[in-house]
Each structure stands twice: as structure tokens, then as C-alpha cells.
Amino acid sequence: MCGVVGVVLPDRGHEAAAVAATALFALQHRGQESAGVGVSDGRNLMIYKDLGMVSQVLDERRIPSLAGDLAVAHCRYSTTGSTVWENAQPTLRLGPRRALAIGHNGNLVNTRELLDQLQGGRGRLPASTDTELLTALLADEPASDTVDALCRVLPRVRGAYSLVLLDEQRVIGVRDPHGFRPLVLGRLATGSDGDAGPGLWGDDTAGWILASETAALDIVGADFVRDVEPGEIVVLEPGRQPVSVRFAPASTAMCVFELIYFARPDSYMEGRNLYESRRQMGMQLALEHPVDADLVMPVPDTGAPAAAGFAERSGIPYREGMVRNRYSGRTFIQPSQAMRQRGVNVKLSPLREVIRDKRLIVVDDSIVRGTTTKQIVGLLRRAGAREVHVRISAPPIYHPCFYGIDTSIETELIAATHNVEEIREFIGADSLGYLSIRGVLNALDLPYERFCFACFDGNYPEPVPYDAEARKFVLETVAGGLPG
């Protein structure tokens, strides 16, 4: 998870921080723990970050003071390090060779090995994230410029990283050789040449934007140009066309969970609109696990596209059976199990008149730990549902993710320790069916080799060399611990 944005505006005096913060609003679903922005006016670089939602951290009181035509922004979902202010991003390093601010989506898997390469070790890191370590290595690297430093350091880095970097003169986007996490390039339309339409920012020349999803381009009136390719560095400077530098050959293995769940349904990935892809997954699910029932209903909001596809293919009417509190966050990315459990009660309310005495097909995108689904089934039964048949538009999650999702050990995953019938019994459903890997691929109409399915089948594109259970807090357990 995590959301990243990088912005370059054409003229000095523009407020790139405002553009970046606006784009970051469209990525709030990717991280709810902290937010921040880094900005440069061509000479000076500074950041502002804090714990909280984007609207709380980057508001109208703070943005006007962040002047400059270059900016990066980040919202955090923690996969390395605790949820403390020091670990909020962007990171900032004012080194003797270069000043850098970095926003990172992903997770490195050789953090201990990289720490051994940092002169001074853990004591030089003010935070306990892999991003902080990477920032220090890049700032220290004896290279001619930031791009040269990246080309020297990144071949030693393993794992998932979609990065936005800011130095005094440039914004730089980077995507790891597997392309685990998404990163797209967009052009901030200005309308002067007649082919882009009126833009929200700028007047006579184009600006550029990097973002985790195309939805962030839409919110600022930018046109999608292309995906940043796996193993590619994209360099953006005011008044110039983007420059591409390849630092490694591509070995594409994009996280398929991005298409199933993480990204917004109005985003595009791998050339696919995600709402349509998820609708197709629901249609495949209806073919694989049909059941006689009165209504098909989604778990709002992420289950809605697949539920629509299930209803369309099965011929069973689609209805909204629960109302979601629009001001609640996503329970899956809450940092603790207790918060996830409380979040379900705050988040969802059943529509009793819709579901009373009905046989329900309840469609959701995934079951991770099982507790959320169990609570939802309980809500529906207490509201009078006669039968509850759960259908999941993803395969069972058997294995932890080491590339940017906070599932560090298999015992956190119900499918790793229970078979389907045992999961059905645990959640209290009358039946349970998961979409197969083949069904996902049929819905996407793309080959297996294009994706990482490791959480479903255990085939990890990048091996993890140390104890998984200690992975998240590795920089808090080595000498030095967490500052403060």
C-alpha cells in the first residue's frame, strides 16, 4: 500500500505542493496513518509531515507556506516500523553530497544487508523504516548526481519499491525491476496546444506528475501518458520532457492484489479499467460457485463491482444490503486487530428491510484474517437474513506478503491454518466459495507470468532472507532501536 505523488510545474512561483496534496486525496485509500509533502523552489528543499489523514495534515493553513514548483507527497500504510511521527514520509536527508526527500510505496526484503552498508549503522537513522535507510544510502553515495546515485545503489536493493524522489532541481520516479507496486506518469494539461483541454494548473506549458494510480491524475486534470516501467528511472525537470534511464532489466511481477482490491475501481492498471476487471471477476465467480438465492449484495464498497458481475451472470437480483459510513477507513489497513474489529461496527450498518427473510449471496474481494467477514455475517443474521452465502472474488490467501502488505506471518492468515469448510464454519456462513487463480486470469485476460500471485500460491519472485516474524520492526530491534 502507501500512496505516492511527484509533481513538476513549468514556472517558478507555482505551488506544486497544492497540486501534490490534491492528487494525494485520491490516494487516501492506500494509507491512513500519516501524510506529508516535500517541496523545492530550485534552491531550497523542505518537508512537512504528520500523523493523520491527508485532509488533517495537508490543509489550507499549511500548504501556502510550502512554496516551489517541485513537490513529492506520501500517505502511509506501515509495513516497516511503528506508527510514529519519525516514520512518516517523505523522508528528508540533507547530506554533504545532496539533499533528498523520498516517498516510498513497497517494502524492501534485504534491510539488514543494506544496514551493514551504511557507514555509522543504525545510529545514523532518525527513523526505523526501510525508506529512511534507503534515503541515507542515496544521500551518502559518492556519485555525480541523484540519478547516478540511484544507478549505483538500486542494484543492491531487493524487494518492492515505487519511489518518488525530490532533490533541489528534479523530481524522479523509480519502479523496482519486478514492478510490484504501480507508478504512472501523467501530463498536467494546460490547453495551450489544443490537444489536452483546459487544465487546473499552469498556463502555457505542460507540467508533469507521477502517482501511484491514474485516479490521482484525474483529480488534478492530468492526462495519463504511460506506466513507469519496471526497472526504470524517470527524471522530471521544469520546462523539459521526461528523461528515461533504465537501471535494471524488467522481470515483471505486479501484485495482482492491486487489481483485485487495493487500487480504486476508477483507476487503470495493466491497460485494464479496474471496475470492469472486478466485474468480470464476479462473473467468473458466479460460474465457479453458483448458488440458489434471492439477492446478490456486496460488502461495500470494494465488493460492489464483483457483486454486480455475479448478479449479471447468475440472473439473481442485485441489491444494496448494507450502508457504509463514508467517514470510516478501510478496516483491512488499520494497524491493529482491535482497531479492525471496532472498525467493522462503525463502518457498516445492515438494511433490515432489504435482507429480512432473504437468502443472500454476499460478495467481497478477500478474506484475510476472517474476523471482519465473521462480523459481517453476524450483522446480517441479526438483521434477519435466512441464509448467508459468502462469495470471494479472489483465491484464498495462504501466504504472507513481503512486498508491501502488512501480513508478516502465516498464522495471521486464516486460509493458512484452516480449509474452506473450516473457514465457512468460523465465519458462520451457509456456504463459502473463492474465485480460482484461473478465474482471476480469465477476468483480466492476461498471462500468469505478468503478476505476483505469491500470497495465493507461495511463488515469491524475490526471496526473503530473514525471519519473517521480525521483519516489520527489524530496524527497531537492532542496536540503536527507535529514537526517542
Q: Give φ, ψ of 45 to 5 degrees.
A: -120, 135
**Mean of the pLDDT values across residues 434-446?**
98
Q: Band the pLDDT of 414: cuts 50, 70, 90.
A: very high
pLDDT digits (tens, 9 = 90+) for 133-150: 999 999 999 998 999 999
* pLDDT at 469 > cutoff 60: no
**Mean of the pLDDT values across residues 450-465?**
91
How deeply is 484 buried, as exposed, middle or buried, from its count of CB atoms within 10 A (0-12, 13-18, 19+)? Answer: exposed
Q: How far, in whole angstroms, is CA 345 from its chain's centroid?
A: 24
**Mean of the pLDDT values across residues 344-348?**
74
Please tell me the predicted confidence (pLDDT) of residue 95: 78
Say whether both 210 and 292 belong to one domain.
no
Query: What is the pLDDT of the chain when averaged over all its residues?
Result: 89
Say whether both 55 and 136 belong to one domain.
yes
Q: Band the pLDDT of 122: cuts 50, 70, 90.
A: confident
Amino acid at 402: F
Least confident piece of the model among 206-210, 344-348, 353-357: 344-348
Say whether both 93 and 218 belong to one domain.
yes
**Mean of the pLDDT values across residues 35-60?**
93
Terminal Cα-to-Cα distance of the chain (whole angstroms): 27
pLDDT digits (tens, 9 = 90+) for 232-244: 999 999 989 999 9
Please tell me the predicted confidence (pLDDT) of residue 349: 92
User: What CATH number did the domain enclosing 378 receive?
Assistant: 3.40.50.2020
Q: Are 110 and 133 in contact (CB under 8 A)?
A: no
Q: Can you state the angle between helices 371-382 and 337-347, rounded to 10 degrees?
A: 30
CA distances from 179 to 21, 76, 169, 248, 258 (A): 24, 19, 26, 11, 12
Using DSSP's 3-state secondary structure scheme, residue 451 falls into strand
* Residue for grid cell 536527508: 93
* pLDDT at 482 > cutoff 90: no
CB neighbour burial string for 455-479, b if at least 16 within 10 angstroms, e if fewer: bbeeebbbebeeeeeebbbbbbeee
Say whether both 247 and 282 belong to one domain.
no
Please tell me the predicted confidence (pLDDT) of residue 193: 40
Say whether both 326 and 385 belong to one domain.
yes
Length of the chain: 484
User: What CATH number did the domain enclosing 165 receive?
Assistant: 3.60.20.10
pLDDT digits (tens, 9 = 90+) for 388-413: 999 999 999 999 888 877 665 777 89
| Residue 464 belongs to some domain of the structure | no
Taking each continuous run of H as one helix and of E as one strand, the counts in the chain are: 17, 23
Q: Band the pLDDT of 345: cuts 50, 70, 90.
A: low
Task: Collect all residues with Cβ–Cβ distance below 8 Å to 265 and sequence separation of at least 6.
Answer: 273, 274, 275, 278, 304, 305
**Mean of the pLDDT values across residues 279-283?**
98
Please tell me the predicted confidence (pLDDT) of residue 192: 38
List active site positions: 2
* pLDDT at 484 > cutoff 50: no
* pLDDT at 478 > cutoff 80: no
pLDDT digits (tens, 9 = 90+) for 246-258: 999 999 999 999 9
**Mean of the pLDDT values across residues 340-359?**
82
Say whether both 212 and 281 belong to one domain.
no
101 forms beta bridges with 92, 166
Say whether both 290 and 429 belong to one domain.
yes
* Residue for grid cell 528543499: 45
Please tell me the predicted confidence (pLDDT) of residue 144: 87
Helix ranges (DSSP H) in 87-213: 111-115, 130-140, 146-153
Say whether both 228 and 279 belong to one domain.
no
C-alpha cell read off for 307: 457483486
Q: Band the pLDDT of 201: cuts 50, 70, 90.
A: very low
| Residue 32 belongs to some domain of the structure | yes
Range of the domain at 159: 3-253+473-477
Q: How far, in whole angstroms, is CA 326 from its chain's centroid?
A: 19
Please tell me the predicted confidence (pLDDT) of residue 340: 53
Q: How many CB atoms lie within 10 A of CB 214?
A: 23
Please tell me the predicted confidence (pLDDT) of residue 15: 87
**Mean of the pLDDT values across residues 10-39?**
91
**Mean of the pLDDT values across residues 96-119?**
91
C-alpha cell read off for 135: 534515503
Say whether both 198 and 338 belong to one domain.
no
Please tell me the predicted confidence (pLDDT) of residue 200: 46
3-state helix, strand, coil in the chain (%, to 5): 35, 25, 45
Say whether both 246 and 354 belong to one domain.
no
* Residue for grid cell 441489491: 319
| Residue 84 belongs to some domain of the structure | yes
| Residue 466 belongs to some domain of the structure | no
Q: Band the pLDDT of 328: cuts 50, 70, 90.
A: low
Least confident piece of the model among 307-311, 341-345, 372-376, 472-476: 341-345
Say whether both 245 and 357 belong to one domain.
no
Q: Give φ, ψ of 468 to 5 degrees.
A: -65, -35
Please tell me the predicted confidence (pLDDT) of residue 151: 97
CA distances from 84 to 126, 335, 420 (A): 12, 12, 38
Question: What is the domain count for the chain?
Answer: 2
**Mean of the pLDDT values across residues 333-362?**
77
Residue percentage of the chain with pLDDT more than 90? 73
Please tell me the predicted confidence (pLDDT) of residue 163: 98
Say whether both 173 and 81 belong to one domain.
yes
Most confident of 30-44, 199-213, 335-349: 30-44
How deeply is 324 buried, as exposed, middle or buried, from its count of CB atoms within 10 A (0-12, 13-18, 19+)? Answer: middle
**Mean of the pLDDT values across residues 77-102?**
85
Please tell me the predicted confidence (pLDDT) of residue 379: 95
CA distances from 463 to 108, 109, 182, 242 (A): 11, 8, 20, 33
Please tell me the predicted confidence (pLDDT) of residue 202: 44
Cα–Cα distance measured from residue 258 to residue 3, given in angstroms and rounded to the nearest whole number = 12
Is the four-CA dihedral 461, 452, 20, 147 of positive or negative sign? positive
Helix ranges (DSSP H) in 315-399: 337-347, 352-355, 371-382
Q: Give φ, ψ of 155 to 5 degrees.
A: -60, -15
* pLDDT at 483 > cutoff 50: no
Please tell me the predicted confidence (pLDDT) of residue 43: 87
* pLDDT at 190 > cutoff 90: no
| Residue 450 belongs to some domain of the structure | no
Q: Are 177 and 229 in contact (CB under 8 A)?
A: no
CA distances from 284 to 5, 289, 316 (A): 34, 9, 15
| Residue 484 belongs to some domain of the structure | no
Please tell me the predicted confidence (pLDDT) of residue 229: 98
Q: Are 203 and 190 in contact (CB under 8 A)?
A: yes
Please tell me the predicted confidence (pLDDT) of residue 465: 64
Cα–Cα distance measured from residue 304 to residue 237, given in angstroms and rounded to the nearest whole number = 40
State the Cα angle at 219 between 324 and 183, rounded to 5°: 95
Amino acid at 329: G
| Residue 222 belongs to some domain of the structure | yes
Residue percentage of the chain with pLDDT more than 70? 86
Least confident piece of the model among 88-97, 269-278, 341-350: 341-350
Cα–Cα distance measured from residue 425 to residue 374, given in angstroms and rounded to the nearest whole number = 9
pLDDT digits (tens, 9 = 90+) for 252-280: 999 999 999 999 999 999 999 999 999 99
| Residue 220 belongs to some domain of the structure | yes
